[in-house]
Amino acid sequence: MNKELKIFGVVAIFTLVLYWGVEPFAHSQMHKHVEGDNFAYSEFKASGKKGDAVNGKALVTGAAACTGCHGIKAINAPAPMDASMAGASYGVNPPDLSTAGALYDARFLAQLIKNPAHALKVEHKFDPAKGKMHPMTQFYGAGGDIDQEIADIVAFLKSIAPKEMSNKEAFENACGRCHANRYGKMSQLGETPKFKYKKDELKHQVAILEYQDKLKAYMGKLPPDLSIIIRARSEHFLETFIENPQSQLPGTSMPAVGLSHEGFEKVMAYLSETGDPSKPARGELGPLVLIFFIVFSGLAFLWKKEKWKGHH
Amino acid sequence: MAHFEKANSVGEWLDQRLAVNTLKRVLAFEYWIPKNINFLWAMGMVLAATFGLLLISGIFLLMYYQPNVETAFDSVNYTIMTEVGYGWLWRHIHGVGASVVFLIIYIHMFTGIYYGSYKRGRELIWLSGMGLFVAFSAEAFSGYMLPWGQMSYWAGMVITNLFSGGSLEAYGLVEWIRGDYVPGQAFLTRFFMLHVLLLPLVIIGLIVLHFGTLRIPHVNNQDGEDFDFEEAARLYKEGNIKESKVIPFQPVFLAKDIFVMGVYFILFFYLVFYHFEFAMDPVNFDPADGLKTPAHIYPEWYFLWSYEILRPFSKDLGLIAFAIAQVIFFALPFLDKSENVAPASRRGLFKFWFWAMLIDVLILTFMGKLPPQGIWNVIGLIAALAFFALWIALPIITKKEKKL
């Protein structure tokens, strides 16, 4: 018996060393380590100004202001153009601002309003000196203290933001204008409806393809479908990449998203729902199967003892 | 025609027509196994059980898998994982099983090497076992193509390219194997056929042969002791079970096997439910894209050691080294010149040879996955050279081995 345990120890040690070498060690050598900022956006300075939502609303909805391009469903301000036409005009459909205050970090929003290309970390793509302007115009101020006005705008966005948001809405707002999620039945034009007639379905598909063509031209390639990205990339990669795409893929045309930590968790929860849907079922069935085999082994051990009685 | 009496039971009826009682006696109740064994002797049945799990889970997966380059990826990752009841369970059993089966094969192989179970009449056990190793390798590779992810595609590209033979530039052969210039529909369908039909048939045939080869030379024991099985069996049947050196396969040997299997299944299903990622590479969860080469292409862990023998050399030399490495283990019974059938610990220099080989294969495995740069290249090259040096040394050191 002692000898068997010794042999088992040798086999177990070799197996564990083998596992360590081909999994944790190999992966630590293959992927560079990137330190995240935990979605604090500490590189952007906070102005410390307290915003006034009422004044913010006036700034957002004023002439030639945000609502010139963005829709805000929360205050019944429709988008000036539909997704396809907006895509054709700007490369990508400008987001509806109803949920921005809930999804994105306040510091990031302030920086974004002030200098979009800088906040989004796409200055390598959009350089005014080369005549390449970011499609979102930067906010030059409405005549008063610009930092105060930005604080007001952010306060307004926070005031209209929904208190509760589903994981799917978080994905749709933060990622969904560039990335599809076919397992979640989401295209860049939102959730794909059920069509009664094939003709309508095809029309919708054509609309998606046309939008994707504009997106391709804007981004350089079609951003990947995210259905199963949760299993294709590690959690650490996704976290640092979403926070700052340049940290993992220098030169990528994907902008920093500006998600708050809570927003990021919602997006990850949605990606887990579509990419790893068996997670809850595994948790339920796993212990039962393991208990079964532990009992099985116990009974088998008794049977073995019985059968080997008198053999030694 | 034989004369048939009226049967009094189903058992008797079957016995008259199939000789089931004789079969049971010959295959189970009087199939004698040495008593002096440890749990490593259960690895054969553990392998059979794992193959059974792969077969059953494979049948369920086959009902929903679609061998089409447009739909294969989603049929695996969406249909089976989301829409099919317990599809995820079958898939994770199949994926984990495919990886773990190689761990057990390697344990089984090195057990055989350690105890000298390939010698003196047992050569065919070793050769048929090696045949199974090759067939399982082909089965694993063809199965890896089926989800049609990035690693399926690029591993398929790299491995089929090997058949161009380096400077021979036999691209015609590569195209013939692929059925196209690059991996595509023809490639996927033929590997599908190989995976679900031809190779499983070969494996089942080889398993039968492998069992058959055990029959006459008998199973080896912990001390490599050569004793009279007839005499030991007679003692056992007379009731001297303590003095007898054998036990019957059924139920005594099996009782221990089943216990070992139980413990193995605890580990196996722990992996299936809580730690399956190691068996399902993240890269393969990106759909195949012929225009986007992944940053790192590497085979599954069980091929890494031979992959690393290919990598550190120049193109032609690497291919030759790789080809030799693939078949050299077949030659083990003929390169080991010693008469001794004994555990490596009692065999002088062979003891060091065994552990050196095991550690060298482990180092090759590590290096095979690491990016081929800097110090990893140097270590890989040394380990690959050491691999061949060990095989050259084997006949020399075993010839000089003292007879026990």
B324 shares a domain with B178: no
Asked if residue B81 belongs to a domain, the reply is: yes
Residues in chain B closer than 8 A to A290 (CB atoms):
266, 269-270, 273
SS (H, E, C) chain A: CHHHHHHHHHHHHHHHHHHHHHHHHHHHHHCCCCCCCCCCCCCCCCCCCCCCHHHHHHHHHCCCCHHHCCCEHHHCECCCCCHHHHHHHHCCCCCCHHHHHHHECHHHHHHHHHCHHHHCCCCCCCCHHHCCCCCCCCCCCCCCCHHHHHHHHHHHHHHHCCCCCCHHHHHHHHCCCCCCEHHHCEECCEECCCCCCHHHHHHHHHHHHHHHHHHHHHHCCCCCCCCCHHHHCCHHHHHHHHHCHHHHCCCCCCCCCCECHHHHHHHHHHHHHHHCCCHHHHHHHHHHHHHHHHHHHHHHHHHHHHHCCCCC
Q: For residue A113, which amino acid is it?
A: I
B136 shares a domain with B185: yes
Residues A294, B39: C-beta atoms closer than 8 Å: no
Whether residue A221 lies within 8 A of chain B, CB to CB, comes out as: no
CA distance B175 to B169: 12
Q: How far is the alpha carbon of A55 from chain B, nearest alpha carbon, in Å?
A: 47
Token duo for residue B201: 């048939």
> What's the total number of domains in chain B?
2
Residues in chain B closer than 8 A to A296 (CB atoms):
262, 265
ipTM of model over 0.90: yes
b vs e for B221-250, b when ≥16 Cβ sit within 10 Å of the residue's Cβ?
Answer: bbebeeeeeeebbebbeeeebeebbbbbbb
Whether residue A289 lies within 8 A of chain B, CB to CB, comes out as: yes
Separation of CA B75 from chain center: 28
Q: Is omega for the bond preceding B251 within 30 degrees of 0, making it cis?
A: yes
* The pLDDT of residue A65: 83
Mean pLDDT to the nearest integer, A153-176: 95
B202 shares a domain with B139: yes
* The pLDDT of residue A32: 81
B349 shares a domain with B258: no
Residues in chain B closer than 8 A to A182 (CB atoms):
74, 78
The mean of the pLDDT values for chain A is: 93
B276 shares a domain with B321: no
CA distance B278 to A228: 17
Residues A294, B273: C-beta atoms closer than 8 Å: no
Looking at chain A, which residue has its C-alpha nearest residue B114? A7
B367 shares a domain with B279: no
B315 shares a domain with B289: no
B394 shares a domain with B329: yes
* The pLDDT of residue A48: 85
| Tens digit of pLDDT at every position of chain B (404 positions) | 788 889 999 999 999 999 999 999 999 999 999 999 999 999 999 999 999 999 999 999 999 999 999 999 999 999 999 999 999 999 999 999 999 999 999 999 999 999 999 998 999 999 999 999 999 999 999 999 999 999 999 999 999 999 999 899 999 999 999 999 999 999 999 999 999 999 999 999 999 999 999 999 999 999 999 999 999 999 999 999 999 999 999 999 999 999 999 999 999 999 999 999 999 999 999 999 999 999 888 999 999 999 999 999 999 999 999 999 999 999 999 999 999 999 999 999 999 999 999 999 999 999 999 998 889 999 999 999 999 999 999 999 999 999 98
Q: Which of A4, A233, A289 sits opposite B273 (nearest CB)?
A: A289
* The pLDDT of residue B107: 98
B162 shares a domain with B264: yes
Range of the domain at B71: 40-229+252-297
B194 shares a domain with B152: yes
User: Quick one: pLDDT band at residue A47, thresholds 50, 70, 90?
Assistant: confident
Asked if residue B243 belongs to a domain, the reply is: no
Asked if residue B22 belongs to a domain, the reply is: no
Q: How far is the alpha carbon of A76 from chain B, nearest alpha carbon, in Å?
A: 37
Q: How far is the alpha carbon of A124 from chain B, nearest alpha carbon, in Å?
A: 23
Q: How far is the alpha carbon of B141 from chain A, nearest alpha carbon, in Å?
A: 18
* The pLDDT of residue B343: 96
Mean pLDDT to the nearest integer, A272-296: 97
Residues 181-200 of A with CB under 8 A from B: 182-183
Percent of chain A with pLDDT over 70: 99
CB neighbours (10 Å) of residue B92?
21
Residues B304, A22: C-beta atoms closer than 8 Å: yes
- The full set of domain ranges for chain A reads 37-275
Question: A259 forms bridges with which residues in the sheet?
Answer: A104
B278 shares a domain with B375: no
Asked if residue B15 belongs to a domain, the reply is: no
Residues A281, B88: C-beta atoms closer than 8 Å: yes
In the predicted structure, residue A1 carries a pLDDT above the cut 70: no
Residues A285, B273: C-beta atoms closer than 8 Å: yes
Residues in chain B closer than 8 A to A252 (CB atoms):
none
* φ and ψ of B34, to 5 deg: -60, 150
Residues B266, A294: C-beta atoms closer than 8 Å: yes
Q: How far is the alpha carbon of B169 from chain A, nearest alpha carbon, in Å?
A: 31
Top residue of B78, B110, B259, B373 to mutate, by most chain A CBs within 10 Å, is: B259
At which of B271, B297, B323 does a domain end? Answer: B297
B308 shares a domain with B354: yes
Cα B110-B114-B116 angle, rounded to 5 deg: 110
Whether residue A20 lies within 8 A of chain B, CB to CB, comes out as: no
Residues in chain B closer than 8 A to A307 (CB atoms):
251-252, 255-256
* The pLDDT of residue B24: 95
Residues in chain B closer than 8 A to A11 (CB atoms):
40, 107
Residues 74-133 of A with CB under 8 A from B: none
Residues B266, A293: C-beta atoms closer than 8 Å: yes
CATH number assigned to the domain comprising residue B158? 1.20.810.10
Asked if residue B372 belongs to a domain, the reply is: yes
